Amino acid sequence: MRKYSLFAVAALFLAAFVAHAQRFQRPAPAWAHAAWMNQSLSAGERADLVLKQMTLDEKIGMIHGEGMAGWGQPNAFAYLGNGGAGFTLGVDRLGIPIIQMSDAAYGVRSSAMNGRYSTALPSNLGASSSWDTDAACEYGALIGRELRAQGYNMTLGGGVNITREPRNGRTFEYQGEDPILAGTLVGNRIRCEQAQHVIGDIKHYAVNDQESGRNEVNAIISKRALQETDLMAFHIGIEIGNPQAVMCSYNAINGDFACENKYTLTDVLRKQWGFKGFVLSDWGGTHSTEKASAAGLDNEEPGQVFYGEAYKQAVESGKIPMSELDEHVRRILRAEFAAGLVDHPVHKSVVDVFGDLAIARHIEEQSIVLLRNEHHQLPLNASAVKTIAVIGDHADSGMLSGGGSAQVDPPGHHQARWGEHVWFPTSPLKAIQAMAPNAQVSFDAGSDPQAAATLAAKADVALVFVNQWTSEGMDLNDLTLANNQDGLVEAVAKANPHTVVVVESGTVVTMPWVDQVSGIVEAWYAGSDGAAALANVLFGKVNPSAKLTVTFPLSVADLPHPTLVKPPAHSEGAAPVQRHVLTSPTFSVNYDEGIEVGYKWYDAQKKPVLFPFGYGLSYTTYSYSGLKVTPGAKPTVSFTVKNTGSRAGVEIAEVYAALPPSANEPPKRLVGWSRVTLNPGESKQVTVSIDPMYLSIFDEASNVFKLVPGSYGFMVGGSSQSLPLHKSVTLE
201 three-state secondary structure = strand
Q: Which is nearer to ligand BGC, 101 or 320 (CB)?
A: 101
| Distance of alpha carbon 588 from alpha carbon 568, whole angstroms | 10
Return the closest-CA partner of residue 164 out of 202, 221, 108, 203: 221
Q: How far is the CB of 203 from ligand BGC (least distance, A)?
A: 6
In contact, 131 and 547? CB cutoff 8 Å? yes
| 220, containing H or E segment | strand 217-220
Smaller CB separation from ligand BGC, 248 or 492: 248
Burial of 310 (0-12, 13-18, 19+ CB in 10 A): middle
**Looking at beta carbons only, is 103 or 209 nearer to ligand BGC?**
103
The smaller minimum CB distance to ligand BGC, of residues 85 and 533, is found at: 85
Comparing CB distances to ligand BGC, the nearer of 286 and 485 is 286
Residue with Cβ nearer ligand BGC (203 or 287):
203
Helix or strand or coil: residue 381?
A: coil
DSSP H or E segment with residue 365:
helix 353-367
Cα Rg of the chain, angstroms = 27
- Closer residue to ligand BGC in complex, CB, 251/289: 251
Please, what is the minimum distance in Å from the beta carbon of residue 582 to ligand BGC?
15
Q: How far is the CB of 418 from ligand BGC (least distance, A)?
A: 10
Residue whose C-alpha is closest to residue 628's, from 651, 655, 599, 594: 655
- Measured from the CB of residue 572, what is the shortest distance to ligand BGC in angstroms? 16
Q: Given the complex with ligand BGC, which of 154 and 382 has the nearer CB atom?
A: 154
Per the DSSP assignment, residues forming a β-bridge with 279 are 246
Neighbours of 605 (CB within 10 A): 12
**Please, what is the minimum distance in Å from the beta carbon of residue 204 to ligand BGC?**
6
Return the beta strands (E) in 511-621 as ranges: 519-522, 552-553, 587-590, 609-611
Query: How many C-beta atoms surround the C-beta of residue 563 within 10 A?
Result: 10
Minimum CB separation of residue 268 from ligand BGC in Å reads 21
CA distance to 466, 468, 508, 586, per residue, from 483 (Å) = 10, 10, 17, 33
Residues at the site binding ligand BGC, with contacts judged by CB under 6 A = 85, 103, 156, 203, 282-283, 405
CB of 220 to ligand BGC, least distance (A): 21
Identify whether the C-beta of residue 568 lies closer than 8 Å to the C-beta of residue 525. no
Q: Which is nearer to ligand BGC, 283 or 525 (CB)?
A: 283
**CA-wise closest residue to 507 among 229, 171, 271, 120:** 171
In the complex, minimum distance from the CB of residue 311 to ligand BGC, in angstroms, rounded to a whole number: 21
CB nearer ligand BGC, residue 84 or residue 717: 84
Cβ proximity to ligand BGC, 279 vs 548, nearer residue: 279
CA dist 602 and 612 (Å) reads: 9
Half-sphere CA count of 588, side-chain side, radius 13 A:
9
CB of 239 to ligand BGC, least distance (A): 22
Closest CA to 162 of 224, 216, 208, 227: 208
Maximum distance among all alpha carbons in the chain? 94
Please write down the long-range contacts of 268-275, taking CB distance under 8 Å and 24 or more positions apart.
268/227, 268/231, 269/205, 269/296, 270/296, 273/235, 273/238, 273/239, 275/238, 275/246
Decide: residue 387, CB within 10 A, 0-12 exposed, 13-18 middle, 19+ buried: middle
Q: Is 161 helix (H, G, I), strand (E, B) or coil?
A: coil
Closest CB 591 distance from ligand BGC, rounded Å: 20
Q: What's the min distance (Å) between Cβ of 105 and ligand BGC? A: 8
CB of 422 to ligand BGC, least distance (A): 16
Residue 257 or 337 having the CB closest to ligand BGC: 257
DSSP state for residue 81 in the 8-state scheme? -
8 Å CB contact between 395 and 465: yes
Q: Using the minimum distance from each CB to ligand BGC, give the nearer residue, 283 or 513.
A: 283
Cα distances from 215 to residues 106, 406, 439, 617, 729, in angstroms, run 24, 18, 53, 40, 46
CA 562 to each of CA 166, 243, 468, 597, 690: distance values in angstroms, whole numbers, following the listed order: 11, 35, 19, 14, 35
Q: 103 or 665: whose CB is closer to ligand BGC?
A: 103
- Minimum Å gap between C-beta 205 and ligand BGC is 11
CA distance 421 to 403: 7
Shortest CB 244 distance to ligand BGC, Å: 16
Taking the complex as a whole, the smallest distance from the CB of residue 308 to ligand BGC amounts, in Å, to 18
> Which of residues 87 and 131 has its CB atom nearest to ligand BGC in the complex?
87
